[in-house]
Amino acid sequence: MKKKLLFVVLFTAFVSSALTIAGLCFIFNLDAKGAINLGRLLSAMSFIESQYVQEVEKDQLIGGAISGMVRSLGDPHSVYLEPKLYSQLKADISGAFGGIGVYMSFKNDGVQILSVIPDGPGDKAGLQANDSILAVNGEPISSIEYGEVALKIRGEVGTPVDLLIHREGEEDKTYTITRAIIKDKTVSSKMLDDKLGYIRISNFSEGTGKEFKTALNELEAENMKGLILDLRQNPGGVITSCVEVAREIVPAGPIVSVIQRDGTKEVYMSDLEKTRFPIVVLLDQNSASASELLSGALQDTKAAVIVGMKSYGKGSVQTLIPMFRDDGLKLTIAKYYTPNGRSIDGVGIIPDFEVPLENPLPMTREINTDADNDAQLRKAEEILTEQISG
């Protein structure tokens, strides 16, 4: 009887899967290989539903299958978002959710705080640059997809989040931080001497283009002859803000191209007649995305010299796709290319002058320009001084 029952179950599952596959093959015009693969997927789901030791919800199986497909891409920037995370990301984009005011790096199987926004929730709670995040609300970082870490830290304004923090030389400690809307000034500037100007962009947000133009005009009013543009620890941000900055300093022509799989191309252009002063850009291993696009455009057009260390290598575009069950995908759909056609994704920007730092600088919002141990900044000053005098 058990054998007959098992046969009936298997036969029913097979027939059901076959009919479903036939219908889907017709709808999606699948070839034989596509039909076989679809059959594998549906058969596995059917067997799990009918034979697994305990009852499983079909939505759970489908969500797990989609998540597995996305993970198989090996792309840390693509991630399946379960309903709660998807809803949170949409609200975050619309401004209804807040954060804790830190920038993070996702490398070496861990999450490290790059910088802490002054007077933000993280700063008030005592977080510091170089802290490592070990867990979010009791969930170990090792069990969270990279694309979900920031989403789990963000949340509704006024609600708390617990972070387990490791700090060198101290015992691990849990910090409870109340989320808030983060408003951050992204551009700082000063004259280093009577000829050299300095601008640091911490990240590219909606107002960065306007902030940069104001800072640049102020430095030029002080008779600046050369500019050091510090993009170290800059994780990127809004591409349109990056383009606004580029149009102030990149000579006429393409700034960056966004190319999709089917070859569809969107090109952002500059109409700047010519560069007005020599520029040196400072990069490090945590300079990513939009900061790499700006650096690549300046390097390709020979409008700037790049000093520092090879950048992060994040040159891809993500979009948010609904999956009709209040869940969604954040999926990489295109790549960025520099004016000379270089893809920086997984490669990064190679500096013209590689200058390591013996003692890493403290990763704050505005790097101390008077630090004697900042060999990268000193090299930038040396290059600009030679260009101006030459």
193 and 331 housed in the same domain: yes
Cα(349)–Cα(315) distance, integer angstroms: 10
Same domain, 125 and 65: no
* Domain stops at, among 154, 178, 202: 178
Q: What DSSP designation does 301 have?
A: T
> In the chain, how many domains are there?
3
Confidence at residue 93, expressed as pLDDT on a 0 to 100 scale: 54
Domain match, 153 and 298 both: no
Which CATH number belongs to the domain containing residue 343 in this structure?
A: 3.90.226.10
Same domain flag for 192 and 174:
no
Provide the domain limits for residue 56.
Answer: 2-79
Q: Go through 156-166 and write b for each residue having 16 or more CB atoms within 10 A of its CB, e for each that does not.
A: eeeeebebbbb
Final residue before a domain boundary, out of 79, 113, 144: 79
Confidence at residue 9, expressed as pLDDT on a 0 to 100 scale: 57
- What integer pLDDT is reported at residue 81 of this predicted model? 86
Q: Are residues 101 and 73 in the same domain?
A: no
Shared domain for 319 and 224, answered yes or no, is yes
Active site residues: 289, 300, 314
Decide if 377 is inside a domain. yes
Res 15: pLDDT: 59
C-alpha distances out from residue 272 to 250, 276, 290, Å: 7, 10, 19
Q: Are residues 163 and 204 in the same domain?
A: no
Name the nearest CA neighbour of 215 among 237, 233, 200.
Answer: 200
CATH code of residue 167: 2.30.42.10
Residue 386's nearest CA partner among 164, 225, 154, 145 is: 225
Assess whether 193 and 173 both reside in one domain: no
Tell me, what's the pLDDT at 27?
A: 55
Q: Which of 241, 163, 223, 227 is nearest to 197 (CA)?
A: 227
8-state DSSP, 222 = T
In this predicted structure, what is the pLDDT of residue 370?
66
Task: Give the per-residue pLDDT at 7.
Answer: 60
Task: Report the distance separating Cα 112 and Cα 166, nearest Å.
Answer: 9
User: How many C-beta neighbours within 10 Å does residue 361 have?
Assistant: 18
Task: DSSP for 169-195, please give it.
Answer: TS--EEEEEE-B------EEEEESSSS
Residues 275 and 363 placed together within one structural domain of the fold: yes
* CB contact set of 69 (below 8 Å; sequence gap of 6+): 80
Q: Are residues 71 and 104 in the same domain?
A: no
pLDDT of residue 174: 96
337 and 384, same domain (yes or no): yes
Residues of the chain where predicted confidence (pLDDT) is lower than 50: 95
Domain membership of residue 84 (yes or no) is no
Res 221: pLDDT: 96
